[in-house]
Amino acid sequence: MAFVNKCGHLYSTFMNNTIHVSTSLLCLTIALSFATTSVFASDDAVIAVLSSNSSPYMQAYSGFQQSFGQNVPLYVLSQEEPRISSRTRIIVAIGGKAALYSYPQDVVLIYCMAPGTKVKPYEHRGSLIKIHTSPAVSLTLSKFKKLQPSLKTIAVLWSGDSIQDYFEQKSEIEKKLGIEMLSFRIRNPDDLPDHLRSLKGRVNAIWLPPDAVMVTPKNFTTIKEFTLANGIPFYVPTDALVQQGALASVNSSYEEIGALAGKLARQALTTESLPDRLFPEKLHISLNLTTAKACNLTYAPEDLKQIEKIVP
């Protein structure tokens, strides 16, 4: 037994070290490219600011770099303050903290990977573009319908202000897809259990939209246990949460979101006409088969082939 524990410990240590080394290598690569850019770039019109060097932000930045096609100065807020010169015209903020940073008002601010954040127009007077983390509601729900054909009523649990405009075309979507959306704003996490109890027998599914205020570990665990116990499909905004026990997610990859930011940045360099928000269109469906079984949902092998990520 002790030997097994020791092996487990060694494996865990090895994996942690591997992740740590991988992350470090990625950071080193980015830092080198930044150093090269800083030293050799003749133009710092575009800069990138990251909330931290967490893996999702780094993946998004990687997508941005590839899409933009040119090295830009990179700043990680958890490590240093960004140095913004008068030549800077476009700032790409990756992460909520980076989005909310106080930038010069005349620059174009493109922010992404900030699901719980909404920069208000009065907070930044220059052009302001938000790239959503999740696809548009109609697209997302249509995928849910494919995963759960019997879906008629879905409860949407949310909390932060940032998510409000996500449901602007709610009635049209309901008509188009034949799905009734019951919206519940959870202002106080302590009210969540009462809300869940009230949903029992009323809804076919529960959906947590990309709301960083709502999606806390505690809330997630509470909803997950409730849905599993009652066989209610539980949809989430990221595949990381599917991994943790939710039924399914419809989202875009972080590289794709970064690539959208890159595309917008290039567009902003050449034109004044820019959208105020953008939804990713390349979809990525994740499905947890164990949870599906608990919800009495079965899928044909052909259907499973169309799903990008399957958690056994």
**Nearest approach, Cβ of residue 98 and other proteins (Å):** 10
- CA 46/CA 266 separation, integer angstroms: 9
CB nearer other proteins, residue 116 or residue 126: 116
Contacts of 281 (CB under 8 A, 6+ apart): 135, 139, 252
113 binds other proteins per the rule CB under 8 A:
yes
- State which residue, 233 or 237, has the beta carbon closest to other proteins: 237
Using CB under 8 A as the binding rule, the residues of this chain from 229 to 248 that contact other proteins are: 237-241, 243
What radius of gyration, in Å, describes the C-alpha atoms of the chain?
Answer: 21
Give the helix/strand (H/E) hosting 284.
strand 284-288
Residue 44 CB, nearest approach to other proteins (Å): 26
Whichever of 53 and 71 has its CB closer to other proteins, that residue is 53
Beta bridge partners of 235: 207, 248
In the complex, what is the shortest distance from the CB of residue 96 to other proteins, in angstroms, rounded to a whole number? 5
For the CA atoms of 11, 14, 15, 16, what is the dihedral angle to 10 degrees? 120
Name the one residue in this structure whose structure tokens are 């933009």: 68
d(CA 219, CA 275): 33
Among 7, 10, 15, 19, binds other proteins (CB under 8 A): 19
Q: Which two tokens stand for residue 50?
A: 């990251």
Choose which of 84, 212, 289, 310 interacts with other proteins (CB under 8 A). Answer: 212
Q: Tokens representing 139?
A: 């697209």
Tokens of residue 129, six digits: 């573009």
Q: Report the residue from 63, 73, 82, 96 that binds other proteins according to the rule CB under 8 A.
A: 96
Which 59-88 residues touch other proteins, going by CB under 8 A?
78
253 binds other proteins (CB under 8 A): no
Q: Which run of H or E residues covers position 157?
A: strand 153-158
Interaction of residue 28 with other proteins, rule CB under 8 A: no
Contact pick of 33, 52, 62, 253 for other proteins (by CB under 8 A): 52
Indicate if the alpha-carbon torsion angle 229, 233, 235, 238 is positive or negative: positive
Count of residues touching other proteins (by CB under 8 A): 36
| Rounded CA separation 287/251 (Å) | 12
Taking CB under 8 A as the criterion, which residues in 134-193 touch other proteins?
A: none
* 256 sits near other proteins (criterion: CB under 8 A): no
> Can residue 114 be called a binding residue for other proteins (CB under 8 A)?
yes
Interacting residues toward other proteins by CB under 8 A: 1-2, 5, 19, 51-57, 78, 95-97, 113-117, 133, 210-213, 215-217, 220, 237-241, 243, 254
